[in-house]
Chains A and B, each alone.
Chain A
Amino acid sequence: MILAKVIGNVTKAACHPGLETARVLICEVLDQNGNATGKVLGAGDWIGAGIGNEVMISADGDACQAFLKDSNTPLRNVVVGIVDSRGGKAI
């Protein structure tokens, strides 16, 4: 899974029909200590993550099938969890 922070969202001018109802968030990937890496991903969101939330993104398409009606939608990243807190020592 990918640890990321939601920094914004995207409105679509045109998209694959399966993605019409999808809410696409712009998430910045975090490293293990929670620092931003500058890498940006677009993830589908069906659980209501807001801007500024730390989220966990699944990078496998099969996980998206549970959220999608159209099975041949080309979506790979989906927000599957909102992070409450992270423990462990900084590496």
Chain B
Amino acid sequence: MRFGKVIGHVVLSTRCSSLEGGRWLVVSPMMKEQIAAPDGPDLSDEPSAVVYDELGGRVGDVIGFTEGGEATWPFDKPKPVDAYNALIVDRVNI
């Protein structure tokens, strides 16, 4: 699981049929400097990822997202998703 800061969201006009009603967040992955100051303004230079979201993440939230095949596990019908929002962070204790 990687941590990331939500910096935007994506609305799809045309999509695969299995992705109906999906909610997508644009997330900037966080490195150690960012996770140490989670409310800080700077973003890491990692390429940002688009994450499937069912928890209602908003811009500015810090989330933990799972990547790879494990991101398809929460769905009973298989969906072509490779990044899933697993948790929204309340507090970072470092």
A interface residues (Cβ-Cβ under 8 A, vs B)? 7-16, 19, 24, 26, 28, 36, 38-43, 61, 64, 71-77
Contact = CB atoms under 8 A, between A and B. Distances in A.
Interface residues of B, number: 31
28 contacts: A7-B32, A9-B93, A10-B89, A10-B92, A11-B90, A12-B89, A13-B90, A15-B87, A16-B87, A19-B86, A24-B1, A26-B3, A26-B35, A38-B33, A40-B30, A40-B31, A40-B32, A41-B2, A42-B2, A43-B1, A61-B69, A64-B70, A72-B73, A72-B76, A75-B1, A76-B66, A76-B67, A76-B68
Contacts of B70: 61, 64, 74-76
A26 B92 contact: yes
B55 A15 contact: yes
Interface of B: 1-3, 30-33, 35, 55-56, 64, 66-71, 73-76, 84, 86-94
Q: Interface residues of B: mostly helix, strand, loop or mixed? A: mixed
A38 B87 CA distance: 22
Contacts of B67: 76
Contact of B32 (A36, A43, A72, A76): A36
